[in-house]
Amino acid sequence: MKKIIACLLAMLGLNTAWGQQLFDDTDAEGFAQLIADSTVVVLDVRTDNEYAEGHIKGAINIDFKKKDFIAKAKAALPTDKTIAIYCRSGRRSAGAANLLANEGYKLVNLKGGIIAWTEAHKPIVIPTDEK
């Protein structure tokens, strides 16, 4: 019986360790304040089509669903700057943030994604607007 309890406690401890988040989350207001700092890099991890529908000004687009996501991110993103990351709803960007945090990046995820951003009446741009 003691062995079973010890195993259950060990599994619980491992489960808690696996569930640790390696990045910070913030709401739209906090994200807006963060990206006002010109040293922060904004990363949109949605698909090319989603990005083309509208994105946060200055965001770099690297599709999290593509196999070369990590390679492209490493080539495009500096490790010495904070990366402000978002997607549509916050789920993909959280997954991407975990992967990138394991590569040494400091990340802040937009909780609720661009949906929360637009609901907070924050501006987006269409790629043709940036020219």
Instruction: Report, as residue numbers or ranges, the catalytic residues.
Output: 87
Tokens of 62: 């690297």
25: exposed, middle or buried (C-beta count within 10 Å: 0-12, 13-18, 19+)? Answer: middle
DSSP secondary structure code for residue 130 in this structure = G
Kindly report the CA angle at 29 between 50 and 45, in degrees rounded to 5? 25
Question: Residue for token digits 């808690």?
Answer: 16
- What one-letter code names the amino acid at 99? L
Question: Residue for token digits 């990363």?
Answer: 43
